[in-house]
Structure 1
Amino acid sequence: MKKLSIIGMPMDLGQMRRGVDMGPSAIRYAGVNERLKNLFDEVHDLGDIAIGRPEVAIDAESNLRNLDLVAEKSQLLANQVDQVVQEGAFPLVLGGDHSIAIGTLAGVAKHYKNLGVIWYDAHGDLNTAETSPSGNIHGMPLAVSLGIGHPLLTEVGGYNPKIKAENIVIIGARALDDGEKELIKEKGIKVYTMHEIDRLGMTKVMEDTIAYLKEKTDGVHLSLDLDGLDPHDAPGVGTPVNGGISYRESHLAMEMLAESGIVTSAEFVEVNPILDDKNRTASVAVALMGSLFGEKLL
């Protein structure tokens, strides 16, 4: 019995551009429920985590934007994701900015001894308060999940770290800050930049990623930031970076993950309908979910 539970996380507190809080609505409007009902025995849309309209606050000590609120809302998401996993359903989280991964991973990782993570993104999201140029927490969730960062964030879920550096694969990177590059080298994190994707081809990148994670993990979380794709294909994102993964390459990647059967949880983040063109980016997200969950052309 294949069950899926959808959780909306309409949070824009991890960055400065308004509109990404409407991401879950845009993805639903693009037909996510209808699309996935054909691929699961049961699909439950659990609605949205309540975020409200809080005032922006900069933490005086760390200079982090909305630190307390991000920690508090991440805990709410962690609780709900934890519940979904306990019920034997596949958790699919709709963002929201990428800081939501702090809560998703806190809810998922406690159920696995060695959770693997595929970080499909133009960015590494490995910043800390010390290395971040902006103080925006959406550039930090992968570091936080490794136990690196402000204790209010690393302790979400009541334990840390959530994941190990050797169980991470970053795919699509093309905008890394100096502090992130250092951390990648120091921790030995596997990264396929756009250079590798161009050089090797997406088929080889995914074959290697799946083989790398399959032998050492007991579950894999896919964290897909729509800015991993080229802005030509996914224009509605807050931090677009030219020269990204194509729509077709992304479908191939999702189809290969579907065939491998390794993915046990997922989130799709950074859909911002205000910056979009006729809800194209949300539609791309839904189409990629179809491929990830085994939709076939024939």
Structure 2
Amino acid sequence: MKEIYIVEFPSNLGLKEPQPGKAPGVNRLPDWLWKHNLHKSLNTEHVTRITPSQYSNVKDSETHFLNADSLVSYAREQAYLINNLISQKKFPFILGGDCSILLGVAAALKQKGNYGLFYLDGHTDFMDIALSETGGAGGMAASLVTGNGNPKLSNILNLSPYIKEENLWCVGNREYDDAYENEIRKSTAAYLSLRELRKKGIRNTAQLFLSEVRNKKLDGFWLHIDVDVLNDMIMPCVDSRTPDGLTYDEFNELTSYLFQSPELSGLEITILDPDLDPTGEYTKDFVTNISDTFNSNFHKKSF
């Protein structure tokens, strides 16, 4: 079994301000999860952190992204660290941060080989800056890492695409809007909205994805978990709330299959904002579910 390394990327660089003059609170997520015993539950002594530049709400004049230069320099640091961990056969368990932390991770994966990406998120995060009202890279992360969008972010270290578009599985979106969904529908990525996931079945979806990873002889796959994929009633402490979402039973079943796979190379958790969960009640439930499911299934014999 690979040794687990907790990696903390406390970034809010890819989000808009929740209100004027207030930076997004998601950069406090690693400390918040530590406070609620996730680190202890994972039973590892290894914890490392890279802190990004200070947040700015001013859009870059060239790309129209928030914090574009900071995202690039941060991604370079992230890629160096993740590359080293994967080279050492370690398992990076990354605590974000917003979804833009994927830029550095995906660049590292490209340096190591040809990887798949299981993007478990309540949104597709697959659109061009022209459709974005915020300029936040977090809402375009899946698109950027597959080589779409401004090369300043999609071609860091001349590695575009970090993940081949056909090796992306975007699962769990419930932002049902044709203009939004058509961006990924017209791509070569696999797209299963929440409705389609339930229709196809969780077990079947996981089996199909893992079969594809093996059949394509990929070097592994990465799991992106945006907590807003969860039902809004059990995870309301996110920046972009939407009705419905996965129950913990559904979430635990799906992730259990992925955690069992020896092809799983690492994972990241994003978007839970401590400012929106002042009592910690939602965070405690999340920590219990993710840690129990992970510890019970990590690299067990796959189904």
TM-score by length of 2: 0.88
Note if contact 2:120-2:225 (Cα within 8 Å) is conserved in structure 1: yes
| Counterpart-to-counterpart distance in 2, 1:157 and 1:34 | 35
Q: Match of 2:172, SS? A: strand
Q: Secondary structure at the match of 2:7?
A: strand
- Residue 291 of structure 1 is aligned with which of 261, 283, 293? 293
Which amino acid is the alignment partner of residue 146 of structure 1? T
Question: AA paired with 1:27?
Answer: L
Q: What does residue 21 of structure 2 align with?
A: none
SS of the aligned residue for 1:20 comes to helix
User: Deviations 1:193-229 (Å, cap 9, x if unpaired)?
Assistant: 1112332332222222222333222201000000011
Cα deviation 1:74-129 (Å, max 9, x = unaligned): 2211111112112221111111111111111112232123x011000011111222
2:56–2:66 Cα contact (<8 Å) kept: no
Contact kept in structure 2, 1:78 and 1:157, CA below 8 Å: no
Deviation at 1:241, TM superposition (A): 1.4
1:203 aligns with 2:206: no
1:26-58: CA deviation from partner (whole Å, max 9, x where unpaired) = 112221222111xxxx54111x21224343321
Equivalent residues of 1:119, 1:169 under 8 A apart: yes
For residues 129-161 of structure 1, give each alpha carbon's deviation from its aligned partner in whole angstroms, at most 9, with x where no partner exists.
222232111111111111111222112244111
What amino acid sits opposite 2:247 in the alignment? S
Matching residue's letter, 2:129: A
Paired AA for residue 283 in structure 2: A
Q: Which residue of 1 aligns with 2:27?
A: 21
Q: SS of 2:108's equivalent?
A: helix
CA distance in 1, matches of 2:65, 2:177: 17
Distance (Å, rounded) in 1 between the aligned partners of 2:176 and 2:109: 26
The total of aligned residue pairs comes to: 290
Q: Using a 3 Å threshold, how does the CA distance of structure 1 residues 268 and 252 change in structure 2: closer, same or farther? A: same
The equivalent residue for 1:130 is: 130
Q: What's the CA shift for 1:289?
A: 4.2
Q: Give secondary structure in 2 for the equivalent of 1:256.
A: helix
Task: Tell me what 1:143 maps to.
Answer: 143
Equivalent residues in 2 for 1:77-96, closer than 5 Å: 77-96=78-97
Shift of 1:179: 5.5
Moved over 4 A (4+): 176-180
Question: What are structure 1's unaligned runs of at least 5 residues?
Answer: none
Distance of 2:66 and 2:102 partners within structure 1: 16
Report the 3-state secondary structure (helix = DSSP H, G, I; strand = E; otherwise coil) of the residue aligned with 2:203: helix
Report matched runs for 1:29-108 at 5 Å. Answer: 29-37=35-43, 43-46=45-48, 48-108=49-109
Task: Name 1:256's counterpart in structure 2.
Answer: 257
The residue correspondences of 1:227-266 to structure 2 (distance < 5 A) are 227-266=228-267
**Greater Cα offset, 273-282 or 95-104:** 273-282
Output the CA distance in 1 between the equivalents of 2:9 and 2:99: 10
**CA shift for structure 1 position 180:** 4.7
Residues of 1 paired with 2:288 and 2:151: CA distance?
34
AA paired with 2:223?
L
Question: Identity of aligned pairs, percent?
Answer: 24
Match of 1:154 in 2: 154
CA contact (8 A) 1:251 1:288 kept: yes
Q: Which runs of 5+ in 2 are unaligned?
A: 19-23, 299-303
CA contact (8 A) 2:53 2:74 kept: no
Q: Distance in 2 between matches of 1:31 and 1:158?
A: 39
Distance 2:102 2:46 in 1: 21
Compared CA separation, residues 93 and 175, structure 1 to 2 (3 A): same
